């Protein structure tokens, strides 16, 4: 297979990925402002992750949402103040571990936001512009690419 010569950074996959990520962040900011759900994108990502991983500890949550532990702690505190999650203490290897779980109010909020997200994607006809099969292929390729990059870096979370 012949390798593509990259003359400029703007010709690289790195540039396209970074630019796409920035556009998605802006779209997310606008979405959360529009629906006024009381939480932002980072909080939604954490809430969704907690919902999928009941009783997750802060360190594991930080790894999954790609935030450092300090920012993850702030997100957890904010979600707890809004009564969307609860903290509980558990032990692991004879050490106290703080774990979090979603509340009923948190599940309701998450369901509301996820329905609004689905409606937005349908209204914007984003899935019509790119076939669902192609979206799945892109997602799979991006996951493989991310996993190969993760092997090269030291994630200090």
* The listed CATH number (1.10.10.10, 3.30.70.2660, 2.40.50.100, 3.40.366.30) that belongs to domain 10-150: 1.10.10.10
Domain ranges of the chain: 10-150
Strands of the sheet containing 85-92, edge to edge, are: 56-57, 95-102, 85-92
Average pLDDT (122-136) is: 73
Q: Do residues 43 and 31 lie in contact, with contact meaning Cβ atoms separated by under 8 Å?
A: no
Instruction: Please state whether the predicted TM-score (pTM) of the whole model is above 0.75.
Output: yes
Report pLDDT digits (tens) over 40-94.
999 999 999 999 998 999 999 999 999 998 999 999 999 999 999 999 988 878 8
Q: Which residues pair with 85 in a beta bridge?
A: 102
Q: Which residues contact 6 (CB under 8 A, 6 or more apart)?
A: 12
3-state secondary structure of 30: helix
Q: Which residues contact 103 (CB under 8 A, 6 or more apart)?
A: 83, 84, 85, 86
Distance of CA 3 to the CA centre of its chain: 32
Among 22-31, 39-48, 107-116, the minimum mean pLDDT is found in: 22-31
**Burial, 111: exposed, middle or buried (Cβ in 10 Å; 0-12, 13-18, 19+)?**
exposed
Q: Do residues 77 and 96 lie in contact, with contact meaning Cβ atoms separated by under 8 Å?
A: no
């Amino acid at each position: 297979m012949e390798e593509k010569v990259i003359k400029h950074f703007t010709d690289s996959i790195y540039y396209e990925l970074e630019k796409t990520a920035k556009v998605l962040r802006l779209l997310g900011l606008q979405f959360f402002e529009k629906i006024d759900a009381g939480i932002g994108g980072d909080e939604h990502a954490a809430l969704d992750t907690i919902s999928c991983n009941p009783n997750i500890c802060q360190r594991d949550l930080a790894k999954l949402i790609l935030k450092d532990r300090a920012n993850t702690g702030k997100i957890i505190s904010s979600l707890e103040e809004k009564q969307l999650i609860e903290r509980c203490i558990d032990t692991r290897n004879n050490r106290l571990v703080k774990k979090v779980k979603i509340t009923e109010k948190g599940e309701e909020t998450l369901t509301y936001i996820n329905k609004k997200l689905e409606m937005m994607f349908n209204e914007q006809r984003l899935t019509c512009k790119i076939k669902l099969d192609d979206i799945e292929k892109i997602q799979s390729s991006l996951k493989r690419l991310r996993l190969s990059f993760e092997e090269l870096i030291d994630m200090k979370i």
